Structure 1
Amino acid sequence: MRERFSCRAFLTKSVPRSDIQAILRLAQRTATWCNTQPWHVYITEAEGTNRLRQSLYAQAQSASSSQPDIPWPREYRGVYLQRRREAGFTLYRALGIARDDTAGRSRQLLENYRFFGAPHMLVVTTDEALGPYAYLDCGGYVANFLSAAHAHGVSTCAQAAIAHHAPLVRNHFGIPPERTIVCGISFGYADREHPANSFRLPRADIADAVEWVTH
């Protein structure tokens, strides 16, 4: 967990199906409410990735309105806004994109829809009837998939951006309406020489996140 990072530049080399299956078996061990295991995932490879990449990138370029299945945060405030800004500014600095370079920032934003060049995309869905607690369970699944992938030498980037265009993703895979699109995960092998992979973001000290109750 200390070594894993969000990869934003991938090599084109595909991950062997056997390795993907091994990672999925580990993620499947995720603890869930009443053992519901509410996720159902769709994984692309080869031309399947390219077709989804092209469709999402074209729609994102057209500036279509966002249509997520799960509402976005109402507001980023306080330390959460500070951390969000730090993440963006650190990425832009690594890529040499100035704060006032609106076009450069837009181009980098669109890289989300190219999956940063990853050879695979995993789309996480859940049963809409299970509500927010299933989102928590899926979050555990995502976290475990990321760690299991890293243990197999596979890099990842969890992407809420994929959910911006939930109707397109739903139509592309034929996902039934009773399933909620949660997020995507780009994965493959990291391009270690790319500047987008040259930095690591800090984590808050536990003193900022924990209250000890002794009586």
Structure 2
Amino acid sequence: MNEFDIVVDAITSRRSVRGFLPEPVGIDLINKILATASYAPSGSNIQPWHVHVVMGEKRDELSRQLLDAHNRKRPESREYDYYPVNWRSPYIERRRETGWGLYETLGIQKGDRQASAQQHGRNYSFFGAPVVLIFSIDNDLQQGSWLDYGMFLQNIMVAARGCGLHTCPQAALANYPDIVKSQLGIDDGRTVICGISMGYEDTDCLANRFRPPRIGLDEFVTFHS
């Protein structure tokens, strides 16, 4: 396999894994992945990222508190709008296709709110991953820095694949920022962006059989000459 094929394989095999093995991930490997990801470009090289690596007892306590808030149906209080305020075509159709595709794989019927809530709650147990990364950004940084941050996050996920790991990026982990900030000592001058659960895939997990479709080049590429 040549260098290009290695990169392509890491990118195209990256997916949101929703079932992990309890097998621990070594700190040296985590550091290698994050150091590699830090080569992401950023405007004027300001490197706006800040990462909290959460494992062990702290991971379990963070999970317990987030799950408790979810199970008590505490209103979510994300610090920014991740999704459109008003959904429209073609994005609403893509969202529904992905959501119902996963639920169909899991045998969850439309209208089964209890099963849907239980599946959503698995976000807060990090799908069993032994490591969760929490990301925050300074409040006074602008949209360009958020673009930079996205490239950093992608680098983490691709680098993890290159090391034989899988990941699940989770906007849901920003739903209760007060809990996350309190547990991890993040001050109010930073916004909690999201989290990434990371570990080794549980290949027996039913949710991991789902593969969301990708749109073709003809739907998002325009050539000019």
Normalised by the shorter chain, which TM-score bucket? over 0.9
Counterpart CA distance in 1 for 2:65 and 2:144 is 31
Deviates more, 1:152-161 or 1:79-88: 79-88
- Matched to 2:214, the amino acid is R
2:19 corresponds to 1:13: no
SS in 1 for 2:90: helix
Q: RMSD over aligned Cα, in angstroms?
A: 1.1
* Mapped contact 1:40–1:126 kept (Cα < 8 A): yes
Deviation string 1:25-77 (CA, Å, 9 cap, x unpaired) is 11100011111110111011111211111111111111111211222321221
- Residue number in structure 2 paired with 1:30: 40
Counterpart CA distance in 2 for 1:115 and 1:132 is 28
- Residue number in structure 1 paired with 2:120: 109
- Matched to 1:92, the amino acid is Y
Counterpart CA distance in 2 for 1:66 and 1:138 is 23
- Residue number in structure 1 paired with 2:53: 43
Aligned pair count?
A: 214
Percent identity of equivalent pairs:
35
Deviation string 1:105-138 (CA, Å, 9 cap, x unpaired) is 1110111111111111101111111122221111
- Matched to 1:89, the amino acid is W
2:136 corresponds to 1:125: yes
TM-score normalised by L of structure 1: 0.96
- Residue number in structure 1 paired with 2:169: 158
- Residue number in structure 1 paired with 2:80: 70
Counterpart CA distance in 2 for 1:70 and 1:14 is 32
TM-score normalised by L of structure 2: 0.92
- Matched to 2:25, the amino acid is V
- Residue number in structure 1 paired with 2:221: 210
Instruction: Tell me which of 31, 36, 54 is aligned to 2:64.
Output: 54
Deviates more, 1:198-207 or 1:66-75: 66-75
Deviates more, 1:99-108 or 1:180-189: 99-108
* Mapped contact 1:122–1:186 kept (Cα < 8 A): yes
Deviation string 1:172-200 (CA, Å, 9 cap, x unpaired) is 11111111111100111110111100121
Q: Once the 2 structures are TM-superposed, how far is the Cα of residue 21 of structure 1 from its aligned partner?
A: 0.8
Counterpart CA distance in 1 for 2:87 and 2:138 is 27
* Mapped contact 1:158–1:185 kept (Cα < 8 A): yes
- Residue number in structure 1 paired with 2:13: 3
Structure 2, unmatched stretches of 5+, are 1-10
Q: Once the 2 structures are TM-superposed, how far is the Cα of residue 159 of structure 1 from its aligned partner?
A: 0.2
Counterpart CA distance in 2 for 1:133 and 1:75 is 23
